[in-house]
Structure 1
Amino acid sequence: MVTARYDVTIRHQRHSPVSYGLATAGETWLVDLDDLPQLPRGFGRLAGFRSADHLGDPSRSLRENLDAWLAEAGVERPARVTMLAQPRVLGYVFDPLTIFALYDGDGVRTGVVAEVRNTYGGRHCYLLHPDARGQAEVDKAFYVSPFNPVDGHYTIRVPEPGDALTVVVTLHRPDEAPFTATMTGTRAANASLWRSLLRPWRTRGVTAAIHWHGIRLYLQGLRPHPRGEHA
């Protein structure tokens, strides 16, 4: 597999209790967990993919941590795993959604692990089995936006990336779908980590946008739901 970088637009659309949308530019990478891109020796701390930014033990590799999580879930070790995520750039990364795709020895995608993070430092993984359209359903089990309680279920659409990339997450409750998040983009010609260093504000911009729009939603009358056990 060839490492790929995507220039993306991330959109959030709330439909209730208020109608509100946001859009921000960013980038995400498609990488092989057994062959992660790296900068030359001596420059690795400037940009790269770190196990400490994802599930498991920071002292182990990303692949080792994912394999351990899958084993606990009763899933055989996949022959290959790709990851759709942002790199850490100049010491910072915030990746709200990381997608791990699992492949068997024939190159067939057998499942997906969706790792969700919130701005409180929490992290949760969902094991998905997408259908032929790349879509799966799973009950919501993690506190993400403070303006949404932990209820309902998600439909998550994750077609395999090519020249174009599309990820769609929709929250459903009885008789309504109050929230949809999308990440869409195109494959960039340059897939060097040096490129990410030229635009370090992109990953910080995601965090800034979350907080800025959170303030605007608060001013529109929304109030946070308590985290409770999900803290």
Structure 2
Amino acid sequence: MKTSRPAQHIGDDALLLTGQVMHERLRPTRNRFVYPVFCVRVNLDRLAGLSRWWFGVNRWRLLSLFVRDYGPRDGSDLATWMRAQLAEAGLPNDGPIWLQTFPRLFGYVFNPVSFWYCHDSAGQLRALLAEVNNTFGERHRYLLAAGDAAPIGPGTTLTCRKSFHVSPFCEVEGHYEFRLRESAATAFTGIDYFDRDGLLLRTSVGGRKQPFSRAQVLSAVLRQPLLTFGVVARIHRQALRLWLRKVPFHTKPAPPAVAQTIHVTESSSEKHPL
């Protein structure tokens, strides 16, 4: 009896997001850039079954995802760890958890920020974990939720105080505002940063959801074969532009004493400076 070959389309366990990153600084000099990216979004409960010859989990492939790059960074199960964080924060932890991140490409990756989308058993988004890395090898996590036990929707603004150094051209002060928009075909995350003088930076990542299939992944890699290397190169290129324009430079402070900040927004529809 002839056996069928395993399907190359992973289906509901993962998706590919193809789109762009935008970053805009408003002062003291205006600086804006947009560049194409692709990233993966994976269901952490089904992570172990995602390996193919073109995508590996905890093994080298064209594209790969290593568990030790995220969360506790010790190689333990990410879904179990994340549910423990949610339970400790008093948030629902009984639904699917999806991680959106740049994968390792040819074994290399740098993720300025990865997003964990945490749902309840009814499928409603209840928490967002923003896992931030800086180019100094440090990391911090912001666990965000709406107040009044409300689900996170298109009208929700999630706020948190900035407590982690990312750029030498920004001080560790002020707050972030996160906005999410999601449809069956697209995804968007916007992050605005406010310092003592108001809005300073606008950042967003978004694009179209694509099937996480061999054809789509190989097409994305052919279009952007240096994606993960380019992330670091672009960060340093933009830093050089700001330095040449004499934007004030701030010495890196010590990292925060705790690796994670928890913030529950008081209102899901209004903006509150912190």
User: Does TM, scored on the shorter chain, surpass 0.5?
Assistant: yes
**Letter aligned with residue 38 of structure 1:** S
Shift of 1:175: 4.4
Q: Kindly tell me: are residues 42 and 167 of structure 1, through their superposed partners in 2, closer, same or farther at Cα, counting changes over 3 Å?
A: closer
Shift of 1:69: 3.6
Alpha-carbon distance between aligned partners in 1 of 2:105 and 2:89, rounded to the nearest angstrom:
32
Match in the other structure for 2:168 = 146
**Letter aligned with residue 135 of structure 1:** T
1:213 equivalent to 2:233? Answer no
Q: Kindly tell me: are residues 173 and 223 of structure 1, through their superposed partners in 2, closer, same or farther at Cα, counting changes over 3 Å?
A: closer
Alpha-carbon distance between aligned partners in 2 of 1:216 and 1:207, rounded to the nearest angstrom:
15
1:39 equivalent to 2:64? Answer no
Task: List gaps (5 residues or longer) in structure 2.
Answer: 1-11, 147-151, 257-274
Q: Kindly tell me: are residues 114 and 87 of structure 1, through their superposed partners in 2, closer, same or farther at Cα, counting changes over 3 Å?
A: same
Match in the other structure for 1:184 = 206
**Letter aligned with residue 27 of structure 1:** F
Q: TM-score, normalised by structure 1?
A: 0.89
Alpha-carbon distance between aligned partners in 2 of 1:156 and 1:41, rounded to the nearest angstrom:
33
Q: Kindly tell me: are residues 226 and 73 of structure 1, through their superposed partners in 2, closer, same or farther at Cα, counting changes over 3 Å?
A: farther
Say which SS state the counterpart of residue 67 (structure 1) adopts: helix
Residues paired across the two proteins, number: 231
Shift of 1:161: 5.0
Match in the other structure for 1:98 = 114
Once the two structures are overlaid, the 10-residue window that deviates more, 144-153 or 134-143, is: 134-143
- Counting aligned pairs with the same residue, the percent is 26
Task: List gaps (5 residues or longer) in structure 1.
Answer: none
Counterpart among 64, 76, 79 of residue 95 in structure 2: 79
1:200 equivalent to 2:225? Answer yes
Match in the other structure for 2:193 = 171
Q: TM-score, normalised by structure 2?
A: 0.76
Structure showing greater radius of gyration is 2
**Letter aligned with residue 60 of structure 2:** R
Say which SS state the counterpart of residue 212 (structure 1) adopts: helix
Q: Kindly tell me: are residues 147 and 161 of structure 1, through their superposed partners in 2, closer, same or farther at Cα, counting changes over 3 Å?
A: farther
Shift of 1:165: 1.6
Shift of 1:178: 0.7
Shift of 1:2: 4.5
Alpha-carbon distance between aligned partners in 2 of 1:92 and 1:138, rounded to the nearest angstrom:
30
Once the two structures are overlaid, the 10-residue window that deviates more, 219-228 or 206-215, is: 219-228
Match in the other structure for 1:4 = 15
Match in the other structure for 1:229 = 254
Residues 78 and 102, structure 1, Cα contact 8 Å, conserved in 2: no
Match in the other structure for 2:129 = 113
